[in-house]
Amino acid sequence: MSKKLFLMIVLILIFLTACGGGNIDSPPLVYLLSGSELVDGFQSSYCWEEGVGATLCVDTMEPYFNETTSLSASEAIRFQFDTPLPDEVTISISDELFGESIISESMAPSDFIDWSPTVAPGAYIIDVHTSWKQGDVTYWFSVVLE
């Protein structure tokens, strides 16, 4: 193998390693919009491929919510997604954390997703399950629909 070809291969490998092969270091975030305020979702445990054979696994404790977000039951619930956008998004709503879903819908990935679940006013947990080629992660939100 010529020195020139060898050097080119080494430089490409260094570039891919330094850049993560185009992968991002951790899952992008998902927010719930309440008026003009962004509400962070509680991020679940996940494993995330960082490229070149490296995978980062993060364990989180059971979700807890310092605050519950009050929203109008008559308006769509809006979520904002950081980029890169996920390949798949499924949004579910339940009466309690880890409870059976009342409604679960697959949605087309977008910067913003408006979702209108047909549920009675009350307290709920919404989970937004997202999938990228690097991994999957769920974000939980505690809401009261008034």
What does the chain come to in residues? 146
- Helices (H) then strands (E): counts for the chain: 1, 12
In the chain, where are the structural domains located? 24-145
> Residue 87 is encoded by which pair of tokens?
């390949």
User: What are 46-84's pLDDT values in tens digits?
Assistant: 999 987 788 999 999 888 888 899 999 999 999 999 999
Q: Cα separation of 57 and 19, whole Å?
A: 19
What is the domain class of 24-145 according to CATH? mainly beta
Cα–Cα distances in angstroms (integers) from residue 129 to residues 112, 120, 135, 140, in the given order? 15, 23, 11, 9
pTM of the model: 0.81
Pairing assessment for the beta strands 122-132 and 88-94 based on DSSP bridges: antiparallel
